[in-house]
């Protein structure tokens, strides 16, 4: 059972590290991302915060998986 949980943590880390940065590039190119003056809109800010949180969780999953693997 422990090996399944370790694999799940690794899979979560890889998924988040691969998917979310690519999603950010799409969000940043969206016309709603910046106003007429070129300033970031709440649309871009909220998505950036959510993506950053997903990447932090990916790092936490990776650390937990490694810790479980070596213990």
Token output for 7: 């694999």
Domain total of the chain: 1
Contacts of 25 (CB under 8 A, 6+ apart): none
DSSP secondary structure string, 22-49?
Answer: HHHHHHHHSGGGB-TTSPBPHHHHHHHH
Residue with tokens 């997903």: 54
| pLDDT (0 to 100) of residue 1 | 85
| pLDDT (0 to 100) of residue 45 | 98
| pLDDT (0 to 100) of residue 40 | 97
Q: Which domain holds residue 65?
A: 2-70
Q: Which stretches in the chain have pLDDT values below 50?
A: none
The reported pTM is 0.86
């Amino acid at each position: 059972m422990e090996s399944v949980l370790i694999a799940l943590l690794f899979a979560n880390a890889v998924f988040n590290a691969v998917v979310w940065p690519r999603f950010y590039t799409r969000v940043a190119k969206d016309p709603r991302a910046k106003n007429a003056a070129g300033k970031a809109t709440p649309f871009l800010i909220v998505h950036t915060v959510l993506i950053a949180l997903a990447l932090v969780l990916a790092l936490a999953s990776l650390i937990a998986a490694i810790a479980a693997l070596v213990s």
